[in-house]
Amino acid sequence: MNSGIFHSTYKADMGLRHTFHEKLRWVIFGILMLVFPFFADRYYLTLANQIGIATIGAIGLNILVGYTGQISLGQGGFMAVGAYAAAILTINMGMPWWASTIIACLVTAIVGALFGIPSLRLKGLYLAIATLASQEIILWVVTHWDAVTGGVDALVVPAPMLFGINMSTDFNFYWLVWALAGVTALLTANLFRTHFGRAFIAIRDQDIAAEVMGINLFKYKLLSFATSSFFVGMAGALTAHYRSIVTWERFTIDVSVLYLAMIIIGGLGSVRGSFYGAAFMTLLPAILSNVGRALKSSLPIVDSILPFIQQAAFGLVIILFLVFEPEGLNKMWKNIKDYFRLWPFSY
Amino acid sequence: MELFIQLTLTGLTNGAILALAALGFVLIYKASDVINFAQGEFLLIGGYVVYGMVAQFGLAWPLGMLITIAIAIGLGAVVERLVLRPLIGEPIISVIMVTIGLSSLLKAIVSTIWGNQPKAFPPFIPSTPVNIMGATIGADRLWAIVIAIVMLGLFTFFFRRSKEGIAMRAVADDQQAALSMGISVKKIFAWAWSIAAISASIGGALVANIVGVSQELSHFGLRVFPVVILGGLDSIPGAIVGGIIIGLLETYTGGYVGHGLNQVAPFAILILILMVRPYGLFGQEIIERV
């Protein structure tokens, strides 16, 4: 009878995966992910691809907000940087999509670090407001720098080709995005086993104590902004290549809020929480619109107010999670596991 | 010169409206240290409820305004009780996110009731053009300045002289000390939210009177940030001065430079102020430096 998971060796303590059940769940999950695209139709593949992109973006944001404790409302702006950089490099310089994606990630990392500079003097809600301002500034630059970004007009990105295969079809893109999401998750999980990641966590928990212990706040905060923005830029660049159309409307403040909601509902400071949150927030509006379509014949009014219902559900979900389970889906899943592990003596 | 006067007048009136929106924001921050991202939606609700009362139910507008204020009090109290109170003591990101969620929910409720098409507002203040030094400006815009000044006076009086206002300042200063002096912190928070909702409703009705009711009203929620940061997050005179400076800045950059620079200039200033003087012009210097 176990009352919890306890480690008796350093090796076990440092392990990424702890228990047999955990490994088993990963194998099952992996097999499901591999089999899924062969049975799913286009609609579900599109959803899965959206979740994949959102997972990468949410993990990126979680590095900054969940692990380093720097609240950012600039996610939409940074995604815009990634998407536009990828699109412009591909269109104007004829770069292959993979090269433009890598460069876009690096460009976003630099821009992210640049807008992270205020974080050296500000924290908490002042930083949130400063990143909100960077979101507005980036979007303004995007919509007004006509010569480069095409202003308010959409950019059309040529289809990404790999060995003569079009990667932007739903089926092919599925493999691309989930491979990248897997790599991102693995890199991030491992990042927090290195001294860089631990420095980030130390800054989150107590920045002054962290500095006293020899962590250079300047360096690590900017590094956190850069690492986070790198993945956020990847999500942006992938959006550009997948959708093949880049418009500024996809990167407004609403996107920043959506991603914050993902990591809060999924679980702050948790890689798998980012995935849960990304899946939840992508599936919620989809499920609502399916329910709405099913109810259309019996309740015609549902059809006209469906967007409002989705918006209300979005707000309500955030409020309910924060009031009742601030640690998100990740914690709920843990509670469920604990319940069964301790059964019948759970208290 | 004429352009300058015209822009100055427009900027002053825009600033007055911004200041009204910022007042409620500052009030909530002052009393409970909560940043309210739903302030724009309070404006939206104010505008639409007045619209509903006057245009749809055909009430006289003073009556409609009173009912709106009553609804605002209720809304503020309900929001405080159901949404904010469970989050007392939670990390700042939770509080920020919960008000963002609230803004989404409130916007959806307004859209469900009134749709999201802009509507013409039955003016309760006539917009007859007034000629001042060669520039023309609508009378309703001038009224906005007057109302902002009156509200400033009322708020200042409330905080300096009334028992509730003093209690509110005590709570803002030190919750524990306030509690031990027999002040009900919960009641004070409810008060703060209700008053903020009232000032936002009045602001919403004023804006609706000038530009009509539409979802655009909620954009004020974001536009107040430069205002409150410039003025100082916890300063009521700061909200007014900040509102007027930002209002002027917006119209000057819009009028002289163009290119939509008026939308972004306040935010550039915002970052600058945060870097140089994060507590703003009149705010208390208690910000923690990293």
* A134 close to B (CB below 8 A): yes
Can you list the domains of chain B with their CATH numbers? 7-117+136-276 (1.10.3470)
SS3 track for B83-96: HHHHHCCCCHHHHH
In chain A, what's the furthest Cα-to-Cα distance? 68
Q: Which residues of B touch A311 (CB under 8 A)?
A: 104-105, 107-108, 111
Q: How far apart, in whole angstroms, are the C-alpha atoms of residue A25 and residue A3?
A: 21
Q: Which residues of B touch A309 (CB under 8 A)?
A: 108, 112
**Which of A70-84, A96-110, B145-159 is predicted with the least confidence, judged by mean pLDDT?**
B145-159
Residue with tokens 């102020």: B273
As for the ipTM of the complex, it is 0.84
What band does A78 get if pLDDT is binned at 50, 70 and 90? Answer: very high
Q: What is the mean pLDDT of chain B?
A: 83
* B289 close to A (CB below 8 A): yes
> What residue in B sits closest to A216 (Cα-Cα)?
B290
* A342 close to B (CB below 8 A): no
Q: Note the pLDDT of residue A226.
A: 92
Question: What average pLDDT does the segment B72-76 reach?
Answer: 90
> What residue in A sits closest to B104 (Cα-Cα)?
A315
Q: Is the pLDDT of residue A160 over 80?
A: no
B232-241 pLDDT per residue, tens: 887 888 888 8
Helix (H) or strand (E) holding B179: helix B175-180
* B101 close to A (CB below 8 A): yes
**Length in residues, chain B:** 290
| Residue-by-residue DSSP string for B71-118 | HHHHHHHHHIIIIIGGGTTS-HHHHHHHHHHHHHHHHHHHHHHH-SS-
* A332 close to B (CB below 8 A): no
Number of H helices, E strands in chain B: 11, 2
Residue B102: which of A125, A308, A319 has the nearest Cβ?
A: A319
Q: Is the pLDDT of residue A245 over 70?
A: yes
Among B residues 35-64, those touching chain A with beta carbons less than 8 Å apart: 35
- Give A132 to chain B, closest Cα distance, Å: 8
Contact A306, A288 (CB under 8 A): yes
Instruction: Locate A238 and state its tokens.
Output: 């992938």
Q: How far apart, in whole angstroms, are the C-alpha atoms of residue B32 and residue B61?
A: 33
Q: Is the pLDDT of residue B290 over 60?
A: no
Residue contacts between A and B (CB atoms, under 8 Å): 139
Higher-pLDDT residue of B216 and A274 is: A274
What band does B200 get if pLDDT is binned at 50, 70 and 90? Answer: confident
> What residue in A sits closest to B98 (Cα-Cα)?
A319
Q: Which residues of A touch B270 (CB under 8 A)?
A: 129-130, 133
At a CB cut-off of 8 Å and minimum separation 6, what does A323 contact?
Answer: B83, B86, B87, B98
> What residue in B sits closest to A306 (Cα-Cα)?
B112
- The reply to whether residue B274 touches residue A129, judged by beta carbons under 8 angstroms, is yes
* A129 close to B (CB below 8 A): yes
User: Shortest CA distance to B77 belongs to which of B196, B220, B201?
Assistant: B196
Instruction: Locate B34 and state its tokens.
Output: 């909560």
Residue A136: which of B86, B264, B278 has the nearest Cβ?
A: B264
Instruction: Locate A272 and state its tokens.
Output: 């798998």
Give CA separation, B252 vs B5, B231, B263, in Å.
10, 19, 11
- The reply to whether residue B267 touches residue A144, judged by beta carbons under 8 angstroms, is no
Q: Is the pLDDT of residue A275 over 60?
A: yes
* A301 close to B (CB below 8 A): no
Q: How far apart, in whole angstroms, are the C-alpha atoms of residue A206 and residue A219?
A: 16
Q: Is A335 helix (H, G, I), strand (E, B) or coil?
A: helix
* A145 close to B (CB below 8 A): no
Q: In chain A, which residue ranges form alpha helices assigned H by DSSP?
A: 10-14, 20-39, 42-62, 75-93, 97-116, 124-144, 146-149, 170-191, 195-205, 207-212, 217-243, 253-266, 271-295, 301-324, 328-342
Residue with tokens 């994606």: A101
Q: Note the pLDDT of residue A106.
A: 93
Q: How far apart, in whole angstroms, are the C-alpha atoms of residue A135 and residue A115?
A: 9
Q: Note the pLDDT of residue B287.
A: 54
The model's pTM is 0.87
Q: Is the pLDDT of residue A109 over 90?
A: yes
Question: What average pLDDT does the segment A91-102 reach?
Answer: 84
Q: How far apart, in whole angstroms, are the C-alpha atoms of residue B172 and residue B192?
A: 11
Residue with tokens 């959803």: A47
Contact A227, A63 (CB under 8 A): yes
- Give B244 to chain A, closest Cα distance, Å: 19
- Give B21 to chain A, closest Cα distance, Å: 17
Percent of chain A with pLDDT over 90: 18
Q: Is the pLDDT of residue B165 over 90?
A: no
- Give B204 to chain A, closest Cα distance, Å: 21
Question: What average pLDDT does the segment A69-76 reach?
Answer: 87
* A326 close to B (CB below 8 A): yes
Instruction: Locate B83 and state its tokens.
Output: 């949404």
Q: Which residues of B touch A262 (CB under 8 A)?
A: none
What band does A107 get if pLDDT is binned at 50, 70 and 90? Answer: very high
B99-152 pLDDT per residue, tens: 989 998 998 888 888 877 777 777 777 777 777 777 777 777 788 788 888 888
DSSP secondary structure letter of residue B136: E
Q: How far apart, in whole angstroms, are the C-alpha atoms of residue A49 and residue A132?
A: 28
* B136 close to A (CB below 8 A): no
| Residue-by-residue DSSP string for A107-122 | HHHHHHHHHHGGGGT-
- The reply to whether residue A264 touches residue B93, judged by beta carbons under 8 angstroms, is yes
Q: Is the pLDDT of residue A227 over 70?
A: yes
Q: Which residues of B touch A316 (CB under 8 A)?
A: 101, 105
- The reply to whether residue A315 touches residue B105, judged by beta carbons under 8 angstroms, is yes
- The reply to whether residue A323 touches residue B271, judged by beta carbons under 8 angstroms, is no
Q: How many CB atoms sit inside 10 A of residue A209's CB?
A: 11
Q: Note the pLDDT of residue A133.
A: 87
Separation of first and last alpha carbons in chain A: 15
Q: Which residues pair with A245 in a beta bridge?
A: A156
Q: How far apart, in whole angstroms, are the C-alpha atoms of residue A72 and residue A61?
A: 8
- The reply to whether residue A316 touches residue B263, judged by beta carbons under 8 angstroms, is no
Residue B92: which of A124, A133, A217 has the nearest Cβ?
A: A124
Higher-pLDDT residue of A8 and A48 is: A48
A166-191 pLDDT per residue, tens: 777 788 888 889 999 999 999 998 88
> What residue in B sits closest to A133 (Cα-Cα)?
B267
Q: How far apart, in whole angstroms, are the C-alpha atoms of residue B271 and residue B122?
A: 39
Q: Note the pLDDT of residue A2.
A: 64
- The reply to whether residue A312 touches residue B290, judged by beta carbons under 8 angstroms, is no
**Length in residues, chain A:** 347
Residue A121: which of B97, B106, B289 has the nearest Cβ?
A: B289
- Give A303 to chain B, closest Cα distance, Å: 12
- Residue A267 CA to its chain's centroid (Å): 12
Q: Is B171 exposed, middle or buried (0-12, 13-18, 19+ CB in 10 A)?
A: buried
Q: How many CB atoms sit inside 10 A of residue A32's CB?
A: 9
Q: Note the pLDDT of residue A233.
A: 92
Instruction: Locate B61 and state its tokens.
Output: 């507008």
Q: Which residues of B touch A322 (CB under 8 A)?
A: 87, 90, 94, 97-98, 101
Helix (H) or strand (E) holding A246: strand A245-246
**Which of A207-221, A312-326, B45-59, B130-144 is predicted with the least confidence, judged by mean pLDDT?**
B130-144
User: Shortest CA distance to B128 belongs to which of B209, B51, B205, B67?
Assistant: B209
Look at phi and psi of residue A72 and say left if phi exceeds 0, alpha if psi is from -120 to 50, else beta.
beta
Q: Which of B78, B96, B289 to mutate to test the interface with A (most CBs of A within 10 A)?
A: B96
Q: Please provide residue B95's backbone torsions phi and psi, each rounded to the nearest 5 degrees.
A: -65, -40
Helix (H) or strand (E) holding B48: helix B39-51
Peptide bond into A344 cis (omega under 30): yes
Give CA separation, B47 vs A277, A311, B140, B201, B210, in Å.
35, 20, 15, 6, 11
* B286 close to A (CB below 8 A): no
Q: How far apart, in whole angstroms, are the C-alpha atoms of residue B209 and residue B189?
A: 30
